[in-house]
């Protein structure tokens, strides 16, 4: 079907987004950490059932994951996915519906919780798209799966759903489609063929010293000094070992040792995150990390060899050429100048591709913007986009409600209709 006909179908089947704005505010003010998305999942399941549109609702898949299946005759099976979990971040947006929630995390520490990555927008947009696509089901045929995934932030949710029997409960999709709100101008959409998001590896490195009194450092082996050496040398991997034409990021996000100032601890923990978009670069960096950690430990006289444990891994996200070319055509015609068909690959990472790759099925991912146009233009005029626009995972990250929500719903519906058999 021509993209002009798809636009006609969409414009002929609007829904009232007012209730979804209210739902978004509720989800934003009631975030839940990874592995604990019980109420968010319950809200999504209840909403799908309340539509009375024929969705088969399957819950508790791989934890709190759920999926709704709308069977509507012959045609392709299209899976739309949203993630549900929030982050251990104290919100500082000043919104009237800002989160005040705290939760006990998996490390048994109580932390503030915030939807600092926009997953509340993803859930809301997918529920609205589920209603809208059901409303227009006389115009298409095929099978629609709307999937709500837990534990994206810790890279375990997609695999857990697959391992938890997802594809014994819902049909294997022909295509997986995913979107994410990013710090772009609201109303804009971006996509590209090929690599779209980075591969990511995270590690916990434990360095072992010998503790003692702060006044007697000569009788100890100080793991803080050891860790400081590791941190500084890790920063040289990208600057001195990786080809400047290649993408790579090495971030030390946490260094923890000791409890007070007059006691030298007996160990230090360093948490490291690596982002790459080339397997060879990844191998080089991981080898360098091990070399630096082992070398600094030996040079410091550590009491035993350091422990390097992988904590999470996100696969490289690659947009399938054939599927994505069709999405580019649909989005280009519908969004016009608001669409970027060759957006830069994101330095961030995702695990959604496992929903497709586990079944040898293609995926397509796109981004939509959430920064109010007036604010974006003013900041851009002063050349301060990097400094003044809050990014995902920031305590100030707060996508503007509209046109962000409308754009997200349009994109999901248009993506699905691109492949469902339309009449």
Positions marked active-site: 85, 152
C-alpha gyration radius of the chain: 23
* 102, two tokens: 């705290």
Hunting for tokens 């947006």 — which residue is that? Answer: 93
**Residue 221 DSSP class:** B
Query: Residue 103 CB: number of other CB atoms within 10 A?
Result: 15
| Contact by Cβ (8 Å): 399, 408 | no
Distances from the Cα of 104 to the Cα of 107, 270, 394, angstroms: 8, 22, 20
- Please name the residues in contact with 221: beta carbons below 8 A apart, sequence gap of 6 or more: 209, 210, 300, 301, 302, 303
Q: How many CB atoms lie within 10 A of CB 4?
A: 10
Q: Any long-range contacts for 103-107 (C-beta under 8 Å, 24+ apart)?
A: 103/32, 103/33, 103/36, 105/33, 106/33, 106/34, 106/35
Q: Compute the distance between CA of residue 401 and CA of residue 407 in angstroms, rounded to an integer.
A: 10
Q: What is the dihedral of CA 126, 132, 134, 135, to 10 degrees?
A: 170
Give the whole-angstrom CA distance, residue 401 versus residue 372. 9
Cα separations in angstroms, 333 against 8, 21, 160, 411, 419: 12, 27, 37, 12, 16
- For residue 75, give the nearest of 155, 8, 143 by alpha carbon: 143
Question: Which tokens sit at 113?
Answer: 């919780």
Tell me which residue of 26, 146, 81, 25 sits closest to 399, measured CA to CA: 25
Question: If DSSP codes are grouped into helix, strand and coil, which group holds residue 194?
Answer: strand
- Residue-wise over 123-160: b if at least 16 C-beta within 10 A, else e? bbbbbbbbbbbbebbebbbbbbbbbbbbbbbbbbbbbb
| Alpha carbon distance 35, 56 (integer Å) | 23
Number of residues assigned to the chain: 423
């Amino acid at each position: 079907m021509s993209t002009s006909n798809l636009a006609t179908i969409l414009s002929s089947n609007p829904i009232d987004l007012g209730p979804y704005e209210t739902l978004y505010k509720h989800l934003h003010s009631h975030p839940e950490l990874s592995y604990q998305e019980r109420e968010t999942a319950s809200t999504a399941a209840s909403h799908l059932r309340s539509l009375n549109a024929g969705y088969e609702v399957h819950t508790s898949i791989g934890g709190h994951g759920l999926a709704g299946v709308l069977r509507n005759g012959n045609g392709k099976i299209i899976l739309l996915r949203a993630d549900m979990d929030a982050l251990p971040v104290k919100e500082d947006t000043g919104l009237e519906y800002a989160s005040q929630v705290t939760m006990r995390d998996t490390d048994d520490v109580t932390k503030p919780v915030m939807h600092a990555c926009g997953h509340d927008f993803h859930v809301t947009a997918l529920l609205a798209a589920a209603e809208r696509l059901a409303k227009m089901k006389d115009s298409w045929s095929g099978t629609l799966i709307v999937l709500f995934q837990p534990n994206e932030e810790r890279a375990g949710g997609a695999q857990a759903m697959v391992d938890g029997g997802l594809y014994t409960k819902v049909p294997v999709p022909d295509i997986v489609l995913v979107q994410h709100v990013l710090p772009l101008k609201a109303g804009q959409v971006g996509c590209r063929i090929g690599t779209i998001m980075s591969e990511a590896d995270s590690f916990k490195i434990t360095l072992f010293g010998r503790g003692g009194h702060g006044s007697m450092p000569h009788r100890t082996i100080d793991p803080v000094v050891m860790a400081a050496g590791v941190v500084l040398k890790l920063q040289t991997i990208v600057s001195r070992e990786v080809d400047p034409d290649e993408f790579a990021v090495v971030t030390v996000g946490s260094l923890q040792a000791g409890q007070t100032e007059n006691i030298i601890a007996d160990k230090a923990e360093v948490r490291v995150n690596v982002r790459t978009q080339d397997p060879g670069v990844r191998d080089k960096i991981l080898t360098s990390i091990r070399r630096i950690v082992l070398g600094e430990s030996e040079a410091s006289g550590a009491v035993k060899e350091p422990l390097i444990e992988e904590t999470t891994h996100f696969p490289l996200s690659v947009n399938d050429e054939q599927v994505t070319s069709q999405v580019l055509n649909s989005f280009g015609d519908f969004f016009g100048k608001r669409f970027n068909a060759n957006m830069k690959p994101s330095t961030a990472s995702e695990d959604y591709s496992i929903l497709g790759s586990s079944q040898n099925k293609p995926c397509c991912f796109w981004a939509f913007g959430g920064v109010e146009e007036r604010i974006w233009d003013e900041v851009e005029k002063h050349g301060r986009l990097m400094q003044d626009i809050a990014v995902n995972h920031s305590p100030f990250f707060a996508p503007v409600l509209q046109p962000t929500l409308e754009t997200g719903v349009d994109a999901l519906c248009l993506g699905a209709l691109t492949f469902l058999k339309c009449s």
